[in-house]
Structure 1
């Protein structure tokens, strides 16, 4: 889910009781949810709203809710755990989230691509007509490439949304070639932009997900909640806080043939439940359910944050892409989140976010910091970059599931009778996909308990 499609890790600490160790306690609940990421929280919220009489416990191994959608506050800066943007057009987010309360701050459409020694604009002429002249003369692709983008825009905008994830499928690289785009356009724009979303080469990415995400970018802005991406999960967790146990890992789950089962926690609790929901990524879910959960190669990334006492060289709320490829440096994309929302940095300061994908993620923290600053010095000048202060590095080995060809966005959520699993790996690897999966599990849970 991490990646700037919106996955892809709340500010502060959630109020939710973290209970002390219980060696041999036994209790009964109607519903136990394992994992307080966005999918588990979505399921919990909708189950609670559908049946307020049900007892429920939400078990979260870490010290806060959010899973991969979390933010930290460090020296007054808001650091999202892995650079993510909130794509407002995703259809099922609106069923769960109050956009007004999130106070969304939009990015400008398009991006500034670094190539040939400068940043060049690629923009959406229908949403930013004033940017059209600059975008047309940029060396990112040919004039015909830009005409083909407009044609592709029209084509995908007219597709029924429900049909996109069932269309004929290719790798995204092959799809773009079939659409007539030149290598220059693919290498300089589509590759860095969509690798920032999918965290993998376009040869390892389904064209179905490309079209789906492309459609979402057409329908509404990409933005950041004014107080960090973690505000999304904090928002959903609000009315559920008295049901959440933090710092409570799950050791095992045993399923009953008649339905439901028993959850045993790492601190010795045994909880019998009519319904068990595991809201976790495939490695964690398969540790509990074995081969009932299919495995996939995870996609990871590293996100390095820096602070600056100086304003950004370009103050637009826009994404900056590496249009020269990995051989030119380790950074795939960068932005200044404090240019999108002033809350991301103290007054008079600037927050810098840089994202690294691929094999470079496995380098040491010290080497990554050195390589990132060296790369960014080519873009912004060494005088500016040398005064950056490193704030934190996040290495996220499982940022999102793979979406290789063939790709299906509709995977089963039932593991056993009264036992369900949800997460972005059951749908699309997006915030919307995680929420959609949680919504489906909530519906199935309420139906199961009513039968």
Structure 2
């Protein structure tokens, strides 16, 4: 998608999309900060609010959390990822393009001036540069990233301020061959699962699996017959 299109980000941050979706629902529909301990086709058991009865359950989590709620679900291997955020008052002149290092001359897989795509992510006069590093966590990653970014952007990064370094050990499910691009999302009538572990290991894959799961739920709910006998 990056090769044939343009870099696209939700304006205001990743939280905006779920917040917009939640805002369109009746008040009290969405509950956050609730820990689910078990699921069934007609109920969700929570640590804080007891049992919540329902007509269908969709487990929309990462692979490991999904497997904890759905025993027997496959847990894939994962690719670890580190994201390093810098800010500067002298942004590189690359605009909103995603910059790749085809020669792999350093730890950075790709980088972009994110505030050039979404100006709301940095205050006036500052730029936000976000860079992705593949592989396990390593000591001194920020220094190595700075050196690599200086070569990639052709500017000095000595005065760049490090805002945050986020390492996620289970960031992306591995797609080792043969990879099933369409793992089932309907486990039983009334019990469904979606996520990047059910499709391609991308945000697009996660959204596509959610669309498949939603279609399965609507198909089951639209049969005109009760989904459960008790």
Match of 1:356 in 2: 133
Q: Report how far residue 286 of structure 1 moved.
A: 0.5
Are 1:444 and 2:216 an aligned pair? yes
Note the residue ranges of structure 1 that are not aligned, 5 or more in a row.
Answer: 1-86, 88-108, 110-216
Q: Report how far residue 337 of structure 1 moved.
A: 1.1
Which aligned segments of 4 or more residues in structure 1 are displaced greater than 6 angstroms?
none
Higher strand share: 2
Are 1:225 and 2:10 an aligned pair? yes
Q: Who wins on radius of gyration, i.e. which is larger?
A: 1
Distance 1:440 1:380 in 2: 41
Distance 1:276 1:266 in 2: 17
Structure 1 residues 221 and 319: CA distance shift in structure 2, 3 A: closer
Bigger CA drift: 390-399 or 228-237?
228-237
Q: Report how far residue 238 of structure 1 moved.
A: 2.4
Distance 1:407 1:397 in 2: 21
RMSD of Structure 2 on Structure 1 (CA): 2.3
Note the residue ranges of structure 2 that are not aligned, 5 or more in a row.
Answer: 226-230
- 8 Å CA contact 2:7–2:96 kept in 1: the answer is no
Pairing 1:397-408 to 2, within 5 Å after superposition: 397-408=169-180
Pairing 1:180-329 to 2, within 5 Å after superposition: 217-218=3-4, 220-240=5-25, 242-253=28-39, 255=40, 260-291=41-72, 293-312=73-92, 314-325=93-104, 328-329=105-106
Distance 1:225 1:419 in 2: 30
Pairing 1:55-70 to 2, within 5 Å after superposition: none
What per-residue deviation string (whole Å, max 9, x for no partner) do you get for residues 101-124 of structure 1? xxxxxxxx7xxxxxxxxxxxxxxx
Pairing 1:407-426 to 2, within 5 Å after superposition: 407-426=179-198
Match of 2:141 in 1: 368
- Normalising to structure 1: TM-score of the pair? 0.45
Match of 2:164 in 1: 392
Match of 2:121 in 1: 344
Q: Report how far residue 268 of structure 1 moved.
A: 4.8
